[in-house]
Amino acid sequence: MAMLHVVNKSPYDACNLNTASSIMKEGDQLLLIEDGVYGAMKNAKAESLLNGLKVSVLGPDLAARGISQDKLVDGIDVVDYAGFVDLVEANDKVQSWL
Amino acid sequence: MGSIEANGKTYETDEEGYLADLNSWDKDVAEVMAKIDDCELTDNHWEVINFLREYYEEYQIAPAVRVLTKAIGKKLGKDKGNSKYLYELFPYGPAKQACKYAGLPKPTGCV
Amino acid sequence: MSDAKKFMYINRKAPYGTIYAWESLEVVLIGAAFEQDVSLAFMDDGVYQLTKGQDTSGIGMKNFSPTYSALGDYEVSKIYVEKESLEERGLTLDDLQHLVWEDEDEDYAEKDSIRLVSRAELADVLAGQDVLFNF
């Protein structure tokens, strides 16, 4: 019963990423969108929250914020809107941490 | 919402006559907008209109009058970078009126 | 200028996710017409507002990052960026836009607007202001 966890807030402005990453179970996936994409940046304080997680991030939201691929934590999957839909389909449930 | 006809084309405007879509602008609609205000567009008018379009393209805002005046002075010379000159060209207010003809939204802070 | 008040706009939110960043910029541009002594501070997620290379074509929102370059035209030349906030987010000054203003008294010489300050230094800057606006 895999779950897709969606986070749309900056990890420095809200504790959503903190909660999501600590509640995620084996096989669950994390998708970062909107201001949540800041959580995907490397050399940053929130970076360690992603340790051991399967993480995707929405490309158009990265581009809007001027975050290039080389700024991302290694192993993160960048998806477009179609990829967002695929993730929703591939998981049994979606949990949006608003 | 209103609209303006120019050269057989229809342009949507807001209630104050500013173009709804910046990208729908062309010289024809500028001429027609000016005619409605009883204003004939000369090369001097076009200089300012083109300047505003370039400014918007670069900074994504229409400049305040004070900023416009200074920038025009720097680009086109001191004899043009003063409010007397600009108000003669655009008696309804250089920022407001010239921005309208340039297809830009009303300048930020203009009431 | 002696009776001008010192206005400080404090920006602490990321762009696009909320409307604060753009609202602040609009208020600054409107306020600049009143010839006060204006400063801007960017701290916490506010430092994200100044990153270069922003392209909003994929999210259907206005890209207002080019507007920060117009601040110099509005005689806003003091832009404080907090060092700790940048570092925490894995950013350096190189990731931010290069913002300048032109000094009329020195034949329009271009000067840097951004001043990198520590939290302690920013505290002193804030203490010296007359009015603080928060966004």
User: Which of A35, A39, A38 is CA-nearest to residue A50?
Assistant: A39
The yes-or-no reply on B/A contact (3 CB pairs or more, < 8 Å) is no
Report yes or no: A21 and A54 within 8 Å, Cβ to Cβ. no
Query: Taking the domains of chain A in order of start, what are their residue ranges?
Result: 3-97
Contact C29 B109 (CB under 8 A): yes
Residue of C nearest to B61 (CA): C67
Domain annotation for chain B: domains and CATH numbers: 2-101 (1.10.10.370)
- Does residue A45 surpass a pLDDT of 90? yes
pLDDT at B110: 56
Q: How confident is the model at residue B66 (pLDDT cuts 50, 70, 90)?
A: confident
Indicate whether C69 belongs to any domain: yes
The answer to whether residue C1 is domain-embedded is no
Partner residues linked to C111 by β-bridges: C101
Domain A3-97: assigned CATH number: 3.40.1260.10
Domain containing C10: what range? 6-134
pLDDT top residue among C59 and C107: C59
How many residues comprise chain A? Answer: 98
A7-34 average pLDDT score: 97
> Does residue C127 form part of some domain?
yes
Q: DSSP assignment, residue C103?
A: E
CB C5 within 8 A of CB C129: no
Question: Is C39 in contact with C129 (CB distance < 8 Å)?
Answer: yes
Res. A77: pLDDT tops 60: yes
Give the span between the Cα atoms of C63 and C52, in whole angstroms.
Answer: 11
Q: How far apart are the first and last CA of chain C?
A: 26
Position C2 scores a pLDDT of: 60
Residue C99 has pLDDT above 80, yes or no: yes
How confident is the model over C83-110, as a mean pLDDT? 95
pLDDT at C6: 94
Q: Which residue has the higher pLDDT, B23 or B109?
A: B23
Asked if the model's pLDDT at residue C31 lies above 90, the reply is: no
Q: Are C51 and A66 in contact (CB < 8 Å)?
A: yes
Domain of residue C84, CATH code: 3.40.1260.10
Q: Which band of pLDDT confidence, cut at 50, 70 and 90, is reported for residue C107? A: confident
Q: Tell me what ipTM this predicted complex has.
A: 0.92
Q: Which two tokens stand for residue B63?
A: 């400049």
Residues of B in contact with C62 (CB under 8 A): 60
Instruction: Measure the CA–CA gap between A34 and A84, rounded to whole angstroms.
Output: 13
Average pLDDT for C53-65: 97
Residue C106, min C-alpha distance to chain A (Å): 34
CA B66, CA C7: separation in Å to the nearest integer? 19
Between residues B93 and A36, the one the model is more confident about: A36
Q: What is the pTM of this model?
A: 0.91
Beta-strand relationship, A3-7 and A93-97? parallel
Q: Are C33 and B109 inside 8 Å of each other by CB?
A: yes
Q: List the structure tokens of A35.
A: 């201001």
The one-character DSSP state at B19 is B
pLDDT confidence tier of residue B109, bands split at 50, 70 and 90: low
